[in-house]
Amino acid sequence: MARWGRGALAALVAVLALGAAGCGEEGASEEAMLTVYVSGPMRGPEAKQGQRRCDEAWDAAQVEREGEEARWVRVICLDATGPEGRWTLAKVGANARRATEDSTTIAYIGEPDRAARRQSRPILEAAGIVEFGVTGGRQAIEEVFAALREDDGSDPRQAVFDAVEG
């Protein structure tokens, strides 16, 4: 068994205490972290488009976050390119699965390419996560925040899904 120093043990206790503090709450509090994933080519010939969508989403989230009643929404950008610098179905699927494995995910801004969306959409729909495909990053984030303003806090993922898909 490894020997624990006092500092390491104290850090472990602090982390466990913080984790326990969030347990037992129903719904998502206004302070809860919510995540929007952006998947696109971040390298190669299509990188400019992928990076632009990511930057637009990130910038829009910063602006929306400044509102008095705004929830904390982070934007995580995922590279969908393979070794040759073009998006691949394997990377698109892996990015969609990563988003579904994150319990804070409320939306996914995917590739504008129809073939890529055919790969990611079933994965995301099965998890109840809305996918923005053709929409730009800024518009998608604005729609997410509009849905969150209407949400009662019980299920932000469902609120966003219903507002966009419904």
Q: How far apart, in Å, do the first and last CA atoms of the chain sit?
A: 54
Find all residues with CB under 8 Å of 159, minimum gap 6, and list them.
Answer: 147, 148, 150, 151, 152
pLDDT tens sequence across 119-160: 999 999 999 999 998 778 999 999 999 998 888 777 888 889
Domains of the chain: 30-165 (3.40.50.2300)
Q: What is the spatial distance between Cα 37 and Cα 160, in angstroms, rounded to a whole number? A: 14
Q: Is the dihedral of CA 116, 125, 33, 71 positive or negative?
A: positive
User: What pTM value is reported for the model?
Assistant: 0.78
CB 71 within 8 A of CB 160: no
